[in-house]
């Protein structure tokens, strides 16, 4: 079979989870999942079990990102196989529980799809996060969502960077889907962000229902923004930040940053320019949670991926 | 002497403090005060001691609003007179220390002016907070700032509500001045908010220098927004929030809200309308820190205050 006519075939997606509260102060996902746990009418689809689930209830209760350590970095092979329940950080213990319920990660028993709902303080709009450029099921789903919500837009961030990729909560599933919607401050619920997230989930679940019903999805292309580099704030010798995101860059997620463009502004008013070798597309610009991760933004590069035709096996 | 020709006279303002980090995750004030502690050139004025001071260093270190309790509610007579250092919440202990250094509150030894620097997630722009409509020194200062920064604007919020007024860190001074600048998410430093705060402080200190030098300030009027009522989110019988700030109200701080205008949107799409008896001006709309205080916004009413002429005694 020649590659242009090959069709990707997957078993029906019978088990789907929607995670909220992986970061306890990201209120859209926390609120939607809590609503759907009380009344699941909206997320019910024929022949699919859709399970809404609060992943970090202690952090949600305290309205903080996490209690001991970032849950969305905790699903490493080491953490998931560690013994000694009593001494573990809360989130490592919780990662093990989640892996038992929705995994085990990498096994045939794992959930088919996990949607993990996040908010960002960055001006990213709606962003789907893809963990593998070879996941044709997710590429087709993301293409479907993009078409369904047009003229509204929803970009795709691809993170399969060897060093910057991290071990997410959703990585337990066969098809992990991250959803970031912003800008929204931590601890705040904004109606526009809430509704945007809700609509994307609707179309994502519709896609799964259509797929399970046997619809064939023709090959398509998906424009993605591939994570390239992490850029830290300028710092002094003691590690203290000495500059802010430049006003020309602030809120300009996904817009081209060219060599020589203003990038930071020091507290004494000097401009620091981008010195890279070509055009990049910054995102997660000035995200609150990434100060502690030494990241002012990540650069991405645009790329077009081809998704094979898709139908159920 | 007839009232229209009376002149308010105060001693020179020799001791001035600038507080940052009263809320540890409000980054403009934290950053400015830390900068000025290293290099005070920018805040030096002839004949004035200007002391930059981090009020809640533990909260700043953790980048949280507070550790045990809200420092900006802790300066009550009870707290300031309580003994038993060991059992006290951190912020109550800290309030006592601050009161020793900059007060005692209400005494002739207290600092003349304290500026307390805050950020809000609400779209409030620059807001000066006045604690007494009879503080002619502060009214003249605020008028001076408004004129100096025009055409940029800086509104005045007057909080002398018998129930909604609270015991602020700055209340230790003879002339307490709150400064709120937003919108800015907690834990984030935005260059536009940082620079706006910096400019207001510059003009405030200039005013004090001019006053000390003997300048006479003629009578003037100042438009203020007087705190009227606290409005909570709609809740179910268990106390859970069931609605969000309506998109027509979100980000519309200081704009008129009339009876019948949309105020909240429930999660199932219903609109809740404002039912008050007249036009109000909401502010602190959807402030992150006020979810725990059961406050979606406060209403204010516009009022024009007359400030007496002012000169030093
Ligand atoms: Zn998150
Ligand atoms: Zn504050």
pLDDT tens for B254-290 read: 999 999 999 999 999 999 999 999 999 999 999 999 9
Q: What is the pLDDT of residues B47-65, one digit of tens each?
A: 999 999 999 999 999 999 9
Mutation target to probe the B interface, by most B beta carbons within 10 A, among A35, A189, A240 is A189
Q: Tokens 């503080």 appear where?
A: B135
Nearest to A185 among B31, B186, B189 (CB): B186
From the CA atom positions of chain A, what is the Rg in Å? 20
CA distance B154 to B198: 13
Mean pLDDT of A214-243: 97
Q: What are phi and psi of A116, to 5 degrees?
A: -120, 120
Q: What is the pLDDT of residues B121-139, one digit of tens each?
A: 999 999 999 999 999 999 9
Mean pLDDT of A188-214: 98
Q: Tokens 């934290």 appear where?
A: B30
User: Which ligand number lies closest to the CA of residue A288?
Assistant: 1
Find the DSSP H helices in B70-135.
77-81, 90-102
Residue A288 touches chain B, beta carbons under 8 Å: yes
Nearest to A121 among B31, B188, B241 (CB): B188
CA distance A115 to A51: 10
According to DSSP, residue B216 is labeled P
Residue contact A191–B247, C-beta within 8 A: yes
What pLDDT is recorded for position B219? Answer: 97
Of B269, B141, B242, nearest in space to B129 by CA: B141
Q: Which two tokens stand for residue A93?
A: 């213990």
CA distance A289 to A269: 25
CA distance A265 to A245: 6
Active site residue B97: no
CA distance B208 to B41: 16
Q: What is the pLDDT of residues B184-195, one digit of tens each?
A: 999 999 999 999
Taking CA–CA distances from A241, the nearest residue in chain B reads B31
Question: To 10 degrees, the CA torsion angle through B50, B55, B58, B64?
Answer: -110
Please give the CATH architecture assigned to the domain spanning B7-224+306-312: 3-Layer(aba) Sandwich (3.40)
- At A74, is the pLDDT very low, low, confident or very high (cuts 50, 70, 90)? very high
Any known ligand binding at A91? no
Residues 24-83 of B with CB under 8 A from A: 31, 34-35, 63-64
Of A74, A130, A148, nearest in space to A105 by CA: A74
Residue contact A186–B288, C-beta within 8 A: yes
What pLDDT is recorded for position B165? Answer: 87
CA distance A196 to A145: 12
Any known ligand binding at A94? no
The residues near A77 (Cβ < 8 Å, ≥ 6 apart) are none
Strands (E), A36-124: 49-54, 113-119
What pLDDT is recorded for position B117? Answer: 98
Pairing relationship of beta strands B220-231 and B297-307 according to DSSP bridges:
antiparallel
Kindly list the strands in the beta sheet with A262-266, ordered across the sheet, starting from the edge strand earlier in the chain.
A243-245, A262-266, A271-273
Residue contact B246–A192, C-beta within 8 A: no
Q: Which two tokens stand for residue A205?
A: 């679940």
What pLDDT is recorded for position A83? Answer: 81
A156: left (phi over 0), alpha (psi -120 to 50) or beta: beta
Neighbours of A5 (CB within 10 A): 9
Q: How far, in Å, from the CA of A22 to the mean position of ligand 1? A: 6
End-to-end CA distance of chain A: 17
What pLDDT is recorded for position A6? Answer: 87
Among residues B160, B180, B195, B255, the one annotated as catalytic is: B180
Q: Which two tokens stand for residue B312?
A: 């030093």
Residue contact A194–B244, C-beta within 8 A: yes
CA–chain centroid gap for A146, Å, is 16
CA–chain centroid gap for A54, Å, is 16
Any known ligand binding at B4? no
Nearest to B288 among A31, A187, A286 (CB): A187
Q: From the DSSP assignment, how many helices (H) and strands (E) are in chain B?
A: 6, 14
Residue contact B286–A35, C-beta within 8 A: no
User: Which ligand number lies closest to the CA of residue B122?
Assistant: 2
| ipTM reported for the complex, 2 dp | 0.94
- At A85, is the pLDDT very low, low, confident or very high (cuts 50, 70, 90)? low
CA distance A55 to A95: 8
- At A5, is the pLDDT very low, low, confident or very high (cuts 50, 70, 90)? low
The residues near A108 (Cβ < 8 Å, ≥ 6 apart) are none
B236: left (phi over 0), alpha (psi -120 to 50) or beta: beta
Any known ligand binding at B180? yes
Residue A3 predicted with pLDDT over 50: no
CA distance A62 to A66: 9
Residue contact B244–A186, C-beta within 8 A: no
Q: Give the H or E element holding residue B244.
A: strand B243-245
Mean pLDDT of A199-206: 98
- At B1, is the pLDDT very low, low, confident or very high (cuts 50, 70, 90)? very low
Q: Which two tokens stand for residue A251?
A: 């809120």
Any known ligand binding at B26? yes
Contacts of B233 in chain A (CB under 8 A): none
CA distance B211 to B204: 11
Q: From the DSSP assignment, how many helices (H) and strands (E) are in chain A?
A: 6, 14
Any known ligand binding at A167? yes
Q: How far, in Å, from the CA of A312 to the mean position of ligand 2? A: 54
A129 touches A180 (CB < 8 A): yes
Residue A2 predicted with pLDDT over 80: no
Q: What is the pLDDT of residues A132-177, one digit of tens each?
A: 999 999 999 999 999 999 999 999 999 998 888 899 999 999 999 9
What pLDDT is recorded for position A163? Answer: 87
From the CA atom positions of chain B, what is the Rg in Å? 20
B141 touches B41 (CB < 8 A): no
Report residues near ion ligand 1: CB below 5 Å: A 23, 26, 118
Question: How far away is chain A from the Cα of B189, in angstroms, using its nearest Cα?
Answer: 7
CA distance A297 to B215: 49
Among residues A180, A209, A223, A303, the one annotated as catalytic is: A180
Mean pLDDT over the full length of chain B: 96
Mean pLDDT over the full length of chain A: 96
According to DSSP, residue B288 is labeled G
CA distance A131 to A137: 12
Residues 148-187 of B with CB under 8 A from A: 183, 185-187
What is the reported pTM?
Answer: 0.95
Pairing relationship of beta strands A297-307 and A220-231 according to DSSP bridges:
antiparallel
Residue contact A191–B63, C-beta within 8 A: no
Q: Tokens 């006519």 appear where?
A: A5
A188 touches B288 (CB < 8 A): yes
């Amino acid at each position: 079979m020649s590659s242009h006519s090959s069709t990707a075939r997957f078993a029906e997606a019978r088990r789907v989870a929607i995670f909220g509260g992986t970061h306890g102060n990201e209120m859209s996902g926390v609120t939607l999942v809590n609503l759907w746990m009380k009344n699941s009418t909206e997320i019910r689809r024929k022949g699919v079990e859709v399970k809404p689930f609060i992943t970090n209830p202690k952090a949600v209760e305290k309205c903080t990102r996490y209690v001991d350590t970032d849950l969305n970095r905790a699903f490493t092979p080491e953490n998931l196989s560690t013994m000694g329940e009593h001494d573990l950080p809360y989130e490592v213990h919780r990662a093990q529980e989640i892996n038992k319920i929705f995994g085990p990660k990498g096994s045939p028993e794992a959930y088919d799809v996990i949607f993990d709902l996040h908010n960002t303080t960055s001006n990213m709009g709606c962003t789907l996060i893809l963990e593998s450029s070879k996941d044709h099921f997710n590429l087709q789903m993301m293409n479907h969502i993009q078409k369904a919500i047009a003229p509204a837009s929803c970009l795709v961030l691809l993170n399969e960077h060897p060093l910057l990729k991290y071990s997410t909560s959703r990585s337990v599933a066969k098809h992990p889907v991250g959803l970031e919607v912003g800008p929204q401050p931590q601890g705040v619920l904004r109606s526009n962000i809430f509704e945007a997230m809700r609509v994307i989930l609707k179309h994502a679940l519709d896609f799964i229902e259509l797929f399970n019903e046997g619809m064939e999805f023709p090959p398509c292309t998906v424009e993605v923004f591939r994570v390239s580099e992490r850029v830290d704030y300028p710092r002094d010798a003691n590690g203290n930040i000495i500059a802010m995101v430049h006003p020309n860059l602030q809120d300009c997620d996904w817009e081209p940053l060219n060599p020589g463009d203003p990038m930071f502004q020091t507290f004494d008013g000097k401009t620091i320019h981008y010195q890279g070798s070509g055009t990049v597309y910054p995102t997660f610009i000035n995200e609150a949670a990434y100060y502690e991760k030494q990241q002012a933004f990540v650069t991405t590069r645009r790329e077009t991926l081809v998704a094979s035709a898709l139908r159920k096996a």
